[in-house]
Amino acid sequence: MDVAIPIFEGITALDAIGPYEVLSRLDGARVHFLATEPGPKRTENGMLALAADGALADFPNPEVIVVPGGFGTRALMKDEGVLAWVRAAHQTSQWTTSVCTGALVLGAAGILTGLEATTHWLLLDKLGELGAIPVSRRVVEQGKIITAAGVSSGIDMALTLAAGIAGEDMARAIQLAIEYDPEPPFDSGSPSKASPGVLELARERS
């Protein structure tokens, strides 16, 4: 099973690495980090680079697509080469997924039209402009399309996907293997829980 994760300049690292940690543990999974051109792609703040070992053109028919997010998705939304690859790969994929603003790339490719989808809470309105029906849920399943909200929710999406591929027991075993048992020190992980001051601070820094 080939899993294609497109990466790009301005990516949010956890959007890609969270799903990788889950999906790479499935039997027979081969996870490929791909880009228009192979090579290192730096994160939004420039502090970390992820390496694309292959080109998108080398993997036209992956079974699973995971489109991560980050500020760099704004450029991808206008990149006809990337959008064409997403459209074509989606035609034959078993699962097409996104994390955070990766959903905007799916939307720009026309894949989410008329479907419920989610993304980072700051950009839910943008999903609507792209033809989707934006919803404030951590993971949204619409047939073979699964979208996840912001950053850390990519792990939840990948576990949901793992259950769809290999069954709930395997997904639970992977969850245990990576010890994904969140007990955050603060209950401030969504706009509905954050105080007005924290919400404003998050807006200023995003």
Contact 162, 180 (CB under 8 A): no
**109's tokens:** 């490719």
- The strand pair at 54-55 and 49-52 is best described as unpaired
**Is 98 one of the annotated active-site residues of the chain?**
no
Catalytically annotated residue among 34, 64, 99, 100: 100
Report angle CA 60, 65, 71 to the nearest 5 degrees.
110
The dihedral region occupied by 46, where left means phi > 0, alpha psi between -120 and 50, and beta the remainder, is left
Q: Is 198 helix (H, G, I), strand (E, B) or coil?
A: helix
Residue 65: its H or E element: strand 64-67
Catalytic residues: 100
